[in-house]
Amino acid sequence: NAGVTQTPKFQVLKTGQSMTLQCAQDMNHNSMYWYRQDPGMGLRLIYYSASEGTTDKGEVPNGYNVSRLNKREFSLRLESAAPSQTSVYFCASIQQPQETQYFGPGTRLLVL
Amino acid sequence: DQQVKQNSPSLSVQEGRISILNCDYTNSMFDYFLWYKKYPAEGPTFLISISSIKDKNEDGRFTVFLNKSAKHLSLHIVPSQPGDSAVYFCAAPPSARQLTFGSGTQLTVLP
């Protein structure tokens, strides 16, 4: 089991460029999450998908879109990147509510 | 407004001594709490949890204490080891399928 995988590991974008962060899990989990981590801010939820076919906004959804492509994959898209989106992005998944979340290794994004 | 707060951004402890990491919360409806550990360039990993019906949960060197009246929890690591050096996040679920995280505490265990 690879657990939760994320690609790419690192990306540099110019302001206004778009990109998609990919996340996949092989644990047959129902729910998947996207977080961003910024210094002094902890982990903040961007979007989540409680189950295949559903997505919901988290705490900081502005500037992002998501797609739950199937049960395994949950992608995060930045349509027009801004310097404020420079961050480390983590994907996570759980099988059932109140279970612990499993995190991917993160994608470090720098927007110039 | 942060529902889970970690007011100490950093903590340094000598190897072999006790590390105490603190966390405060504002929502009295939270019914369980978790601690995650994060090493540089890795994702957070689950460390220990506690249900609100308990006031203590122990797992090896790690013990979490919950004081519901004070809305405070703490993570004790005894004895601390250099490999424990990491960022520690406390977290709680504002709803069934979500977690809200504190801002983290960087623990450094000095050899």
A42-61 per-position pLDDT tens digit = 899 999 999 898 999 999 99
Q: Is the peptide bond before A105 cis (omega within 30 degrees of 0)?
A: no
Average pLDDT for residues A28-48, to the nearest whole number?
92
Place of tokens 């027009």: A80
Q: Which pLDDT tens digit goes with each residue over B57-110?
A: 999 999 999 999 999 999 999 999 999 999 999 999 888 778 899 999 999 999
* Averaged confidence pLDDT in chain A: 93
* Closest to B34 (Cα-Cα) out of A63, A79, A43, A58: A43
Residue A98 in this model has a pLDDT that exceeds 70 = no
Which residues of A lie inside 8 Å of B (Cβ-Cβ)?
4, 31, 33, 35, 40-45, 48, 50, 58-59, 90, 92, 94, 97-98, 100-106
Across the interface, whether the CB atoms of A42 and B43 are under 8 A apart is answered no
pLDDT > 90: what percent of chain B?
Answer: 85
- Using only C-alpha atoms, chain A has a radius of gyration, in whole angstroms, of 13
- Cα–Cα–Cα angle for B109, A101, A86, rounded to 5 degrees: 75
User: What percent of chain B is predicted at pLDDT more than 70?
Assistant: 99
**Residue B49: what residue type?**
S
* Residues of chain A positioned with their CB less than 8 A from the CB of B41: 105-106
DSSP label at A73? B
Residue A58 neighbours by CB distance under 10 Å: 18
Mean pLDDT of A91-106: 86
**Residues with Cβ within 8 Å of residue A112, at least 6 apart in sequence:** A12, A13, A14, A15, A83
Mean pLDDT to the nearest integer, A55-77: 96
Tell me the nearest-neighbour CA distance from B44 into chain A, angstroms: 6
For residue B79, say if its preceding peptide bond is cis, omega within 30 degrees of 0. Answer: yes
